[in-house]
Amino acid sequence: MTPKVSPGTCLLCRAPVTKQKALKHGMECLQASGWPTGKKPSLLIMIRGRDNKNYWLVVLARHDARLRDLDQLIRDVWVECCGHLSSFEIEGVIYESDAECSTDAMNAPLSHLVSPGSMFSYDYDFGSTTSLDLKVIGETPVAPLNALLGLIARNDRPVIPCDLCGGEAGFALDDPDGEIPRYYCRECLASAGCDPEYVGIIANSPRSGVCGYAEDPAAALPWYPPGWSADEIVPDELDDALDEIAFDDEIEIETSIAAVIQDIGPDIDAFVEAEKAAYGEEAACMAGESVMAFCTFMHALYGLTIDAWGALSVQRCLVDELSQNPVFPEDWPENAVPILCRFLTHMEASGRLTNASGLIAALEESEPAFQKAATSPEKSLALFRRILVKAQEAGIDTNDMDAFFNFTMREIVRMAGMDPDSEEVQKELSSLLADELLKSGADDLRAATILVQCTDFCNRFEDDTILDRCREIIRDIFDHPAAPLSRGDVVLWSAAIVYVACREANLIRSGRGGSSLTQDIGFFFGFERSSIQNKAKVLKKLLSGR
């Protein structure tokens, strides 16, 4: 049940206010603010989350502010994540962002459409929609300072209890494998062992937890009155805590490696030598890396030395952790469990284990699940998405296959636990990058990039029908004799593939002006409708020639 009192803060004087008293307090503060008087009265607009009315804003809008200005404020403060379309509905009329018509509907002045007492609505993202209710709650002669619009009050950051200690949480774990998010305070987060990739700051927004939304205090700051800082909107200590998770994780792995070496380092070396004598150099290398990784995970996750290993812990470590090895030889998934079983037998023979047979039975029972997880397309896609995001953050042009390929190789080496800048690894990388057979993987890289882009767009649909068709199209043109994927902009290819899949599913209607989905595709991928349609025509010709 929504509480009757929704606490907030006056952004002018920083006094606590409630949603119910925000108008009266705001009017008094504006009169005392020394802000200029407008030529015409300014509007005071209350904006609330439709599904959770504890999220609210009070906005001061100058008489000549336009719908587009209000749309931008809402995006910057509350909802922007992927450049989705948005719309206002006022008295039954829809005003869409960048509507394809001679006059942009969002350019309409607010004062021509609403007045005190008017109620209207706003939707952002027509897939995973965030809906807001707006009401003009008053007017004042005071105008915003040096702007058309500005915030004057806002709800306080929501208080959500930590799942572990019951204190105030600051972080949410949105693990895709979990049904509901989990919440942690800073102290419990540090001890929870969460994957930093899925942890985010609890956003003060009705879009929290939707479509990867993350609060952007730098974008929100220009809409605040003078004197505020980004750190006051989203405290730096929350960002610092997220950084510490990743840093602590690296330290923990290094500590665990050292502990394993100290405990059974000589035994591992002896086992690797035995593998070399029996199976050769390459097999010994695979055995050493597999055993060292497994032992490190067992120590890092469970704090277990080898004499304390149990059937359940080795099964969980095998399926949940070792299977996520980012780079491995083609025959590794079928050899990893036999290697570990031989290692256990070796350790029992050396007197370090007494329960090898039970552990071996547990590993063999979980081998099918391990192989499935190790070779899962979803795992590969998730891994590549992480690399793609890092490349974009590093300013790598993903259309420059040489630069992108080199960056990807370095990231894979880093994920495998090696230092890509060490002299030994550098020599190995140089040798690999000079291999023409490996270079042919550039086309695979382009195809993977396109699939990730298509997948991210298709997340808005209720099922995988469109995504499955995108996969089929990518596979068909990847195998095309003309090798079309080796040329052109990968993002434009992605947009065209999604467009064709949606047209085939009758989600995009023919005719002048296209549809809102066409506009959404253009916004998401950053291309004009005409460019996407032209590329789609090329794509259709390629597909028809198969």
In a domain, 186, yes or no: yes
**Pair 31, 151 in one domain:** yes
- Look at residue 45 and give its three-state secondary structure: strand
Instruction: Using the CB atoms, write b or e for 194-211: b if 16+ within 10 Å.
Output: bebeebbbbbbbbbbebb
Q: What was the pLDDT predicted at 2?
A: 43
Residues in the chain: 546
301-352 pLDDT, tens per residue?
A: 777 789 889 999 899 889 888 887 765 677 888 999 999 999 999 999 999 9
256 in the same domain as 238: no
Type of residue at 239: D
Using left for φ > 0, alpha for ψ between -120 and 50, and beta otherwise, residue 235 falls in beta
pLDDT in tens, 476-506: 888 888 778 777 788 889 999 999 999 888 8
In the chain, the number of structural domains is 4
Task: Report the alpha-carbon distance of residue 301 to residue 312 in Å, rounded.
Answer: 13
CATH of the domain at 485: 1.10.472.10
Q: Which residues pair with 42 in a beta bridge?
A: 140
User: How are strands ordered across the β-sheet holding 171-173?
Assistant: 182-184, 171-173, 199-201
pLDDT per residue over 221-252, tens digit each? 999 999 999 889 987 767 666 655 544 445 56
Q: Which two tokens stand for residue 437?
A: 């057979």
Residue 94 phi/psi, 5-degree rounding, is -95, 130
Nearest to 142, CA basis, from 25, 222, 29: 29
Same domain for 96 and 140 = yes
Which of 412, 413, 520 has its CA nearest to residue 458?
Answer: 520
Instruction: For residues 525 and 479, state if they share a domain.
Output: yes
Same domain, 259 and 203: no
User: Whose CA is closest to 412, among 434, 390, 435?
Assistant: 390
For residue 32, give both structure tokens.
């005392």
Domain that holds residue 196: 171-217+227-242
Q: Is 164 part of a structural domain of the chain?
A: no
Cα gap 33→11, rounded to integer Å = 11
The rounded distance, in Å, linking the Cα atoms of 420 and 413 is: 6
In a domain, 349, yes or no: yes
Residue at 398 is within a domain: no
In the chain, % of residues over pLDDT 90: 37
Given CA atoms 440, 445, 450, 452 in this order, what sign does their dihedral have? Answer: positive
Residue 36 lies in a domain: yes
**Residue owning tokens 């993202």:** 125
Residue 415: pLDDT band (50, 70, 90) is low
Examine residue 402 and state whether it is found in any structural domain, yes or no.
no
Reported as a single tens digit per residue, the pLDDT across 266-300 is: 999 999 999 999 999 989 988 998 999 899 888 87
Q: Taking the model in full, what pTM does it have?
A: 0.53
Least confident of 158-162, 345-349, 370-374, 421-425: 421-425
The pLDDT mean for the chain works out to 82
Instruction: Tell me which H or E stretch contains 154.
Output: strand 149-155
**DSSP string for residues in 344-392:** HHHHHHTTS-S-HHHHHHHHHHHHHHHHHHHT-HHHHHHHHHHHHHHHH
Q: Is residue 116 part of a domain?
A: yes
Return phi, psi of residue 197, to 5°: -60, -30
Q: Which of 333, 351, 375 is the last residue of a domain?
A: 375
